[in-house]
Amino acid sequence: MKKSQLTGDGSRCDKVLKAIGDYWTLSIIGSLGQGERRFCEIERAVAGINPVTLTARLKKMEQIGLIERKTESEKKIPVIYALTSEGLELLPITESIQRFAEGFTSSKKK
């Protein structure tokens, strides 16, 4: 990885790292990795997140292109959230972090 990609200069890499480093973001990605979801479905899947925080994280993830927000029609149907192709590329990374965390906490208990 080039040094300039992680220098805090506002590059795309810095923005993505900042976004996925926010508390709850990886859990949201994991939830959306199982398919499209409405807001309330994400909220239920990510136990403990409050609606204000979830809204903020979803907006940030949409701004940097990790998720897309869509409505199915002109009617007042709930908004659907889904991972973009870039967001889908993060799934193996989130799974690796999960495995690391499980192993890390297991080794600390010994």
CATH code of 100's domain: 1.10.10.10
6: which DSSP letter?
G
Report the number of distinct structural domains present in the chain.
1
Residue-level pLDDT at 1: 46
Does a structural domain hold residue 109?
Answer: no
Q: Is residue 110 part of a domain?
A: no
Is the full-model pTM beyond 0.95?
no
Q: Between residues 109 and 92, which one has the greater pLDDT?
A: 92
Average pLDDT for the chain: 85
Show the domain range for 80.
7-104
Would 31 be classed as within a structural domain? Answer: yes
Mean pLDDT of 35-39: 95
pLDDT at 43 exceeding the cut of 60: yes
